[in-house]
Amino acid sequence: MVNRVALVTGGGRGIGRVIALGLAREGCHVAVGARTRGQVEETAALARDLGVRALAVDLDVTDGATLTPAVSEVIASLGPVDVLVNNAGIAESAPFNRTDPGLWDRHLRVNVTGPYLLTREVLPGMLERRWGRVINIASLAGLYGAPYVTAYTTSKHALVGFTRALAAEVSGKGVTVNAVCPGYVATDMVWNGARTIAARTGRSFEEAVEAMARINPGGRLVEPEEVAAAAVELVRNETINGETVVLDGSSPAPPRRHA
């Protein structure tokens, strides 16, 4: 993995930041893309502290016109993209009868079309060099149904389907395509969801977090470091292709690593 170049979307915070730093610790040079310039600059600085080259990239996965220049910037600064981590995503909840077309379209644009567009940008080079890794951060919701998140669940099912179909297409060509499917992860997405639940139900924030943790089969929140470890293993392992790596809190939680 040393000197490979990785592009991580949604890398300014949460899972994306931890994945970017996990890859940096393994010797990958990392480009961190998101709309939040200050946050990706901070992640890139933390990666440089680990001894690799890093680049903060202004990136909106819903704006196809900006993706080619963004990837060109990464190639010019760090080199061809060997590892693409499609992590940027959104999750909004609503009963189906209040799931309006705008909410529906947002989930498909960010969670499905964004990974499709970025993968199209970098896959030809991977195939030409006969080495590449595409890692899609999906969700347990990409494998099972859940109430009040129809748009999110649909988008993550689509991302898993995209993963499996593309993996079959590139099989034997030096490129692997896999998905990581975590349950609720201890990040801002859960904290924000817990605040919404608390406001709507009268529960305390702590009670709302605990309720979300209990939804995971393991009864606890998944740690971001677990998602990063899965991503690192998928980069390292050349035989895993077309798989959905399930992280549901069933195994003991790892110790937290602070940046």
Q: What is the pLDDT of residue 255?
A: 55
CB 151 within 8 A of CB 253: no
Pick left, alpha or beta for residue 191 (phi over 0 → left; psi -120 to 50 → alpha; otherwise beta): alpha
Q: What is the pLDDT of residue 192?
A: 87
User: What domains sit in the chain, N to C, each tagged with a CATH number?
Assistant: 5-183+223-246 (3.40.50.720), 184-221 (no CATH)
- Scanning the structure block, which residue is given the tokens 């937290």? 256
CB 189 within 8 A of CB 222: no
Q: What is the pLDDT of residue 194?
A: 87
CB 185 within 8 A of CB 256: no
Q: pTM for the full model?
A: 0.94
**Distant-in-sequence, close-in-space partners of 42: CB < 8 Å, separation ≥ 6:** 12
Within a 10 A sphere around the Cβ of 252, how many other Cβ atoms?
8
- Report the C-alpha gap between 173 and 131 in whole angstroms: 8
What mean pLDDT is reported for the chain? 94
Q: What is the pLDDT of residue 197?
A: 85
Q: What is the pLDDT of residue 258?
A: 41
Q: What is the pLDDT of residue 188?
A: 86
**DSSP E strands, the chain:** 5-9, 29-34, 54-58, 83-86, 132-137, 175-182, 244-247
Q: What is the pLDDT of residue 238?
A: 96
Regions in the chain scoring below 70 on pLDDT: 253-259
Active site residues: 152
Nearest to 84 by CA among 110, 111, 120: 120
CA distances in angstroms from 64 to 40, 61, 69, listed in the order given: 20, 7, 10
